């Protein structure tokens, strides 16, 4: 529960910035934000305890129609200011409660992140889990979608990458295929826009490490933020994605975190660097260990890889995700670990020369995930590895200091591949989720709801629709 001091500071902030409105934002089960807007004159201290009621049955994955009433309680520590030409508003991220009992709503993803952090402390393994995400996204000039029975497909225009459906050309300079990494102006057309995005993120309290143009030619960018605690990292991802999309829209562009928007172009991941801290000591470091990692860190890696196929049902949460996890694009295709290997599912950075820098990077995850659920699931998998002392080398997960994509079938035969599809990942989650239930962090109800929601609204619906390439393949059959 929020302290009186934090509530008082939040109320004073709304007055200090001269806000016209207060926006209450909350996340649904798939991972998208929703919002309720209040006139600033109605924003009072009682909202931090009583909340604002809303219809949970209209929110994907929440409640049924006959028991839909839920409440929103703003977290006073999550505020950020938004300014448009006509209004000034302050946004707060909210927790969801049952409107009758005022208890925490069990399916609220933010509550799952809270429970994961509490479980970590209770385990005695560490006090904090720190996560550092890399936000990758595309900036497109125009996207047109067609979804009628007699016309289906999409058209993307990205002039920076020479993608113009009308002329299939662009005046120089443009970025060639896979040649966008760390590009600079005039080739990089989005430097100023990224700078505005970063500035707004920092104003919202998000510490940014750096930003740059990514490998992809089609306006692919990355903004990397500094490490923070699990729930705060997930909050920062939601705020960051919101700022990025709105800043792009102001320029007439579409920002998208979809994992694989274009065939033959690099996809968008959301890699997570992560490590544990106990009594202010970083416990992933042992000088002279593999990559200067401690046994604890390697067991954590073992847990990530052992539960990797199930993890991807939460961390790669779209049917599109698995079009990114293919050879040739620095996206992992097998569950292995190694130092500096970007084709590995878990990469050990080469720059680990102190306890503060000791970390592991989980590379399969992407921006289609609900970041509260995916980070909580990663932590639970890693903790299970530590508790059970899962040695990744003995389990056959490496280390593999080779490019996985160049291995012959006989060499790759002993490696565990990533799931081929979301359906396959969901089946893995169904079979392997006991580690998520420890300490009541996840519940059977939430797991079952997630699997059913994904199967019903995404997997089945995508499978039922003819694909444009199928017409090309089979029209003359």
Query: Catalytic: which of 21, 188, 214, 458?
Result: 214
Q: Report the alpha-carbon distance of residue 244 to residue 242 in Å, rounded.
A: 6
Residue 392 lies in a domain: yes
What domain range includes position 100?
4-105
Same domain, 430 and 330: yes
Q: How many residues does the chain have?
A: 477
Q: Domain boundary at 105, 137, 166, which?
A: 105
Q: Which of 56-60, 284-288, 356-360, 388-392 has the lowest mean pLDDT?
A: 56-60
324 token code pair: 């990114």
pLDDT given for residue 405 in this prediction: 60
pLDDT band of 411, cuts 50, 70, 90:
very low
Average pLDDT, the chain: 90
Q: Are residues 210 and 76 in the same domain?
A: no
Point out the domain boundary residue: 45, 71, 105: 105
Run of H or E residues at 33: strand 33-39
Q: What is the mean pLDDT of residues 350-374?
A: 95
**136 in the same domain as 78:** no
What gap in Å lies between CA 424 and CA 310, rounded to an integer?
Answer: 9
User: What b/e string do you get for 331-369 counting C-beta neighbours within 10 Å, with b at 16 or more?
Assistant: bbbbbbbbbebebbbbbbeeebeebeebbbbbbbbbbbb
102 catalytic residue (yes or no): no
Q: What confidence tier does 406 reach under pLDDT thresholds 50, 70, 90?
A: low
Q: Which is catalytic among the residues 55, 100, 192, 448?
A: 55
CATH number of the domain to which 37 belongs: 3.10.20.70
- Rounded Cα distance between 241 and 225, Å, is 12
- The catalytically annotated residue of 134, 160, 188, 384 is 134
Rounded mean pLDDT of 254-278? Answer: 95
Annotated catalytic, 189?
no
200 in active site: no
Percentage of the chain beyond pLDDT 70 is: 94
**Mean of the pLDDT values across residues 161-185?**
69
In a domain, 382, yes or no: yes
Q: Are residues 366 and 308 in the same domain?
A: yes
Say whether 307 is catalytic. no
| Residue 465 and residue 324 in one domain | yes
Region 66-75: what's the mean pLDDT?
A: 82
Residue 245 lies in a domain: yes
- Report the pLDDT value the prediction gives residue 66, as an integer from 0 to 100: 47
Say if residue 16 is in the same domain as residue 91.
yes
User: Is the residue at 115 inside a domain?
Assistant: no
Domain-located, residue 111: no
- Give the active site residue among 342, 391, 427, 432: 342
208 and 76 assigned to the same domain = no
82 tagged catalytic: no
Residue 460 within any structural domain of the chain: yes
Residues 6 or more apart whose CB falls under 8 angstroms from that of 26 comprise: 33, 34, 35, 72, 93, 94, 95, 96, 108, 110
Taking 3-state DSSP, the helix, strand and coil percentages for the chain, each rounded to the nearest 5, stand at 40, 25, 40
- For 386, phi then psi, to 5°, come to -70, -45
3-state secondary structure of 400: coil
Which of 153-157, 215-219, 411-415, 431-435 has the lowest average pLDDT? 411-415
Predicted confidence (pLDDT) per residue in 3-52, tens digit: 888 899 999 999 998 999 999 999 999 999 999 999 999 888 888 988 89
Q: What is the pLDDT of residue 400?
A: 80
pLDDT of amino acid 297 = 96
Q: Tell me if residue 134 is catalytic.
A: yes
Between 173 and 458, residue with greater pLDDT: 458
Does the pLDDT at position 381 exceed 80?
yes
Q: What CATH number corresponds to the domain at position 331?
A: 3.30.590.10
What's the number of domains the chain is made of?
2
Say how far residue 96 (Cα) sits from the centre of its chain.
Answer: 20
Residue 433 lies in a domain: yes
- Which pLDDT belongs to residue 407? 58
Q: Are residues 90 and 204 in the same domain?
A: no
Q: How confident is the model at residue 84 (pLDDT cuts 50, 70, 90)?
A: confident
Residue 282 annotated as catalytic: no
Among the listed residues 160, 228, 361, 458, the single catalytic one is 361
The predicted-structure confidence for 181-205, as pLDDT tens digits, reads as follows 887 888 888 999 999 999 999 999 9
Do both 347 and 229 map to the same domain? yes
Q: Convert the pLDDT of each residue in 92-104 to its tens digit.
A: 999 999 888 888 9
Please tell me whether residues 284 and 200 are part of one structural domain.
Answer: yes
For the beta carbon of residue 40, count every other beta carbon within 10 angstroms.
16
452 is catalytic: no
Asked if residue 112 belongs to a domain, the reply is no
- pLDDT tens by residue, 268-321: 999 999 999 999 999 999 998 899 999 999 999 999 999 999 999 999 999 999
- Res. 174: pLDDT tops 90: no
Do 230 and 308 fall into the same domain?
yes
Q: Which position among 107, 347, 363, 433 bears the catalytic label?
A: 363
Task: Kindly indicate the confidence band of residue 410, based on its pLDDT and cuts at 50, 70 and 90.
Answer: very low
- The mean pLDDT value for 381-402 works out to 91
424 in catalytic set: no
Say which of 160, 222, 235, 384 is annotated catalytic.
Answer: 222
Position 180 pLDDT exceeds 80: no
Q: Annotated catalytic residue: which of 271, 273, 307, 347?
A: 271
Which residue among the candidates 136, 235, 366, 458 is catalytic per the annotation? 136
Say whether both 425 and 454 belong to one domain.
yes
Q: Are 26 and 94 in contact (CB under 8 A)?
A: yes
| 174-184 mean pLDDT | 77
């Amino acid at each position: 529960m929020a302290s009186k001091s934090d509530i008082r500071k939040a109320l004073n902030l709304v007055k200090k910035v001269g806000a016209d409105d207060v926006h209450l934002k909350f996340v649904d089960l798939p991972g998208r934000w929703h919002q309720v807007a209040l006139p600033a004159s109605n924003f009072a201290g009682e909202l931090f305890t009583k909340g604002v009621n809303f219809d949970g049955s209209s929110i994907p994955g929440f409640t049924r129609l006959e028991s839909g009433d839920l409440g929103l309680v703003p977290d006073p520590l999550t505020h950020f200011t938004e300014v448009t030409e006509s209004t000034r508003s302050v946004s707060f991220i909210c927790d969801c409660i049952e409107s009758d009992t005022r208890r925490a709503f069990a399916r609220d993803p933010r509550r799952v992140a809270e429970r994961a952090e509490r479980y970590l402390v209770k385990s005695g393994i560490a006090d904090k889990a720190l996560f550092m995400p890399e936000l990758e996204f595309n900036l497109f000039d125009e996207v047109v979608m067609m979804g009628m029975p007699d016309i289906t497909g999409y058209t993307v225009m990205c002039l920076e990458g020479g993608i113009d459906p009308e002329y299939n050309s662009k005046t120089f300079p443009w970025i060639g295929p896979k040649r966008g990494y760390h590009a600079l102006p005039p080739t990089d057309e989005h430097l100023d826009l990224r700078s505005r995005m970063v500035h707004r993120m920092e104003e919202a309290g998000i510490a940014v490490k750096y930003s740059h143009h990514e490998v992809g030619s089609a306006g692919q960018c990355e903004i990397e933020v500094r490490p923070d605690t699990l729930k705060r990292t997930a909050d920062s991802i939601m705020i960051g994605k919101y700022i990025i999309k709105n800043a792009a829209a102001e320029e007439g562009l579409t920002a998208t975190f979809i994992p694989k928007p274009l065939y033959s172009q690099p996809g968008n991941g959301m890699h997570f660097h992560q490590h544990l801290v106990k009594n202010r000591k970083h416990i992933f470091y042992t000088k002279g260990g593999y990559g200067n990692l401690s046994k604890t860190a390697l067991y954590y890696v073992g847990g990530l890889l052992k539960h990797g196929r199930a993890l991807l049902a939460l961390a790669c949460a779209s049917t599109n995700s698995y079009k990114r996890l293919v050879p040739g694009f620095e996206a992992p295709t097998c569950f292995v670990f190694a130092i500096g290997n970007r084709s590995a599912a878990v990469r050990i950075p080469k720059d680990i020369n102190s306890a503060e820098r000791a970390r592991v990077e989980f590379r399969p995850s992407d921006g289609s995930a609900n970041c509260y659920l995916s980070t909580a699931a990663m932590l639970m998998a890693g903790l299970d590895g530590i508790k059970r002392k899962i040695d990744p080398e003995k389990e056959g997960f490496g280390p593999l200091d080779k490019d996985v994509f160049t291995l012959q079938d006989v060499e790759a035969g002993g490696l565990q591949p990533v799931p081929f599809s979301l359906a396959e990942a969901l089946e893995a989650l169904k079979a392997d989720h006991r580690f998520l239930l420890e300490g009541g962090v996840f519940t059977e109800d939430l797991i079952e709801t997630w699997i059913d929601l994904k199967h019903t609204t995404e997997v089945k619906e995508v499978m039922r629709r003819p694909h444009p390439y199928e017409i090309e393949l089979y029209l003359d059959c």
